[in-house]
Amino acid sequence: MTYRKTMKRIKVDVKREVLRANDMLAETLRREWKDRGILVVNLLSSPGSGKTALLERTVEALKDKYRILVLEGDIDTERDAERIRAKGVEAVQITTGGTCHLEANMVMRAWEEVSGEDWDFLFIENVGNLICPAGFDLGEHLRVVLISVPEGDDKPAKYPKAFMTSRWLVLTKMDLLPYFEFSPEKVIEEARRLRPDLRVFRTSAKTGEGIDEWVEALEETLHTLRETGPSAG
């Protein structure tokens, strides 16, 4: 009599495990930031949409009243962090070395460098990309997606997850609207099909259009976060 030894095949979904570990760490970070009263904002967009320019305007408006930290995500160089530091606020550069998005462990390592300080706002400028960053929770309280006028008005339909997972939408470079075939109304309509409660801002870092409304909304969100008190557990 012959015996055949059989081995049970176990299928491991590596991507699912990576995302699960990421989400657990992100939740730990979110609780810490909530307990400390720090509003964390994660900015997503394509390259060149104006994230850094919007942040420059934002920190200029807020830095005299609040303590601001910016984590800059990019594949290489510290150029964006240098721009933010030039505005007089702290910026930590996270270089991914080729990874097309930030992950919670990257954010945690950067955070550990400056976690001893007291902050009011923590802005995370994600790697320029509308695909990969949408799948990774970084522990933020507020996810914001940006679209610039030169990019075209078809982005919500082409990259739906970035809009479905964001609470706010910022249209940037509105000063260029006369020079491009771009319909803000089409963008907003398509984005709200994906997320009906999406809040929209129309801005220009060059002219200052919409910046006051954006900044006021950030302040209101910070105050709301603090009014709800520490997280449970």
pLDDT tens digits, one per residue of 34-71: 999 999 999 999 999 999 999 999 999 999 999 999 99
Residue given tokens 């949408």 in the structure block:
134
Indicate whether 1 belongs to any domain: no
Nearest-10 Cα torsion for 117, 122, 127, 128? -150
Q: Dump pLDDT digits (tens) for 189-217.
A: 999 999 999 999 999 999 999 999 999 99
Indicate whether 79 belongs to any domain: yes
How high is the mean pLDDT of the chain?
A: 93
Which domain covers residue 150, as residue numbers? 42-227
Indicate whether 107 belongs to any domain: yes
Q: What three-state secondary structure class fits 122?
A: strand
Question: For 35, which DSSP code?
Answer: H
Distance CA 104, CA 223 (A): 25
Indicate whether 219 belongs to any domain: yes
Total domains in the fold of the chain: 1
Indicate whether 4 belongs to any domain: no
Indicate whether 2 belongs to any domain: no
Indicate whether 175 belongs to any domain: yes
Quote the pLDDT of residue 2: 45
Closest CA to 125 of 48, 68, 45: 45
Quote the pLDDT of residue 229: 76
* pLDDT at 1 exceeding the cut of 50: no
Q: Could you tell me the CATH number of the domain that includes residue 171?
A: 3.40.50.300
Mean pLDDT of 131-160: 97
Indicate whether 9 belongs to any domain: no
In the chain, what are the helix, strand and coil shares in percent, each to the nearest 5?
Answer: 45, 15, 40
